[in-house]
Amino acid sequence: MKKYFLLAILLVLIVACTNQPSLNINQALDYCVAKVQKSMNSITDEKYPRNMENGQTSWNSKGVRSWTSGFWPGILWRAYEYSGDEAIRKQAERFTGPIQIIANSKARNHDIGFMVFCSFGNGYRLTGSEEYKQIILAAADTLATLFNPKVGTIHSWPGNKEYQHNIIIDNMMNLELLFWASKNGGKQYLYDIAVKHAETTMQYIVRPDYGTYHVGIFDSTDGHFIKGVTHQGYADDSQWARGQAWGLYGFAMSYRETGKKEFLETSQKMADYFIDRLPKDGIPYWDFDDPKIPDAPKDASAAAIAASGMLELYQLSADAAAKTRYLNAAQALIKRLSSTDYLSRDKNMAFLLHSTGHHPKNSEIDVSIIYADYYFIEASLRLKKIKEQNSLK
């Protein structure tokens, strides 16, 4: 009897040590929707949630022109998509509307894609609103004004006077707006410049080992590549984790939109790089090469973005081994984010803890951040659909 009792205790201990408490995918989505329902009525000003430092319980907000303004309406649209809750839809419409100003103003940077496609893009996908469609098309034309044909890319940060023509790896995400517009009534030119931007990024910003520079600097008059540097990473040649996540996601999406095999291969190799360099606990440090590791801060946002991109890779890859690799890796990231170490639970309004925004500026370190939540709910919805389509548990 005593032997069985000891064995039972041992089993409980093994389970407790090896299994982080985790949620299944419906539980993760229920959690997100419940958090949105609880917080949305207290987000009453006309500002957009951005971050929460440790100990804060409600969002610090930014104006509509902040690069992150699209993520809160994006979260609301995604939560509505899962729940069908009309009260959430109302809030989604409310926070989407003011972003129209971005579509029709002079382009300040590549972030138009994040702002307009997460808000109006999701809204159009779910409602078919003709008004939303016209705003997205206008936004794509606005983004296209930043294209420099000499370099062959969009100028990501025209306001940055330190560099001439610059592109950042994050900009890969915003090509989706151009691809979408070219296929939904916009000009062919939008498709062509998106392809050219992706090709130039692949040539100069993706390194031979499939890591990436954060920023590429080019001569704006003759277009030649000057150098790769960092802005938000540890060093020019280190690997900023979120940059790698933006890139693998952006190249997977570019393959979906073009069928160009080189984009798929680039995305897969970038994903392999990301997976192979993950630390034991499964969530990346903010930069894979910070010498302070293991005492460096984590970046849950990089994990959420990468998980969503890897689920797209799962769907696009033909090879069975590759499919398994990306599905398993994405599930592991989502599962780890869904553990008590990373979920904020009732600590604050966000879904997740432990993201890092701009470490070199000592800004937003180990905080809750709105885009981590956006890509967490997006990845969870993608995983749910994949499981349903393939009758997976």
Q: Which residues are at the interface with ligand GLY (CB under 6 A)? A: 170, 232, 242, 357
Other Cβ atoms less than 10 A from the Cβ of 146: the count is 22
Q: Please report which residue ranges of the chain form alpha helices under DSSP H.
A: 2-18, 25-39, 71-83, 86-96, 100-103, 112-116, 122-127, 130-144, 175-183, 188-204, 241-258, 261-276, 300-316, 320-337, 370-389
Structure tokens at 114: 């994040």
Catalytic residue (one of 30, 85, 170, 236): 170
**Is 373 designated active site?**
no
Cβ at position 231, least distance to ligand GLY in Å? 9
Cβ at position 62, least distance to ligand GLY in Å? 13
Cβ at position 390, least distance to ligand GLY in Å? 31
d(CA 185, CA 264): 26
Q: In the block, which residue shows the tokens 């995305």?
A: 267
Report the residue number, 314 or 351, with the smaller CB distance to ligand GLY: 351
Report the residue number, 123 or 357, with the smaller CB distance to ligand GLY: 357
Report the residue number, 114 or 179, with the smaller CB distance to ligand GLY: 114
Cβ at position 357, least distance to ligand GLY in Å? 6
Residue sitting closest to ligand GLY (CB): 170
d(CA 33, CA 363): 28
Catalytic residue (one of 30, 45, 111, 373): 111
Report the residue number, 61 or 331, with the smaller CB distance to ligand GLY: 61
Report the residue number, 170 or 378, with the smaller CB distance to ligand GLY: 170
**Is 170 designated active site?**
yes
d(CA 4, CA 14): 15
Residues 6 or more apart whose CB falls under 8 angstroms from that of 47 comprise 61, 62, 63, 64
d(CA 306, CA 222): 35
The residue among 362, 360, 355 whose CA lies nearest residue 302 is: 355
Cβ at position 204, least distance to ligand GLY in Å? 19
Each residue of 356-376: b (16+ CB within 10 Å) or e? bbebeeeebbbbbbbbbbbbb
d(CA 307, CA 331): 7
Report the residue number, 80 or 249, with the smaller CB distance to ligand GLY: 249
Cβ at position 285, least distance to ligand GLY in Å? 15
Residues with catalytic annotation? Answer: 111, 170
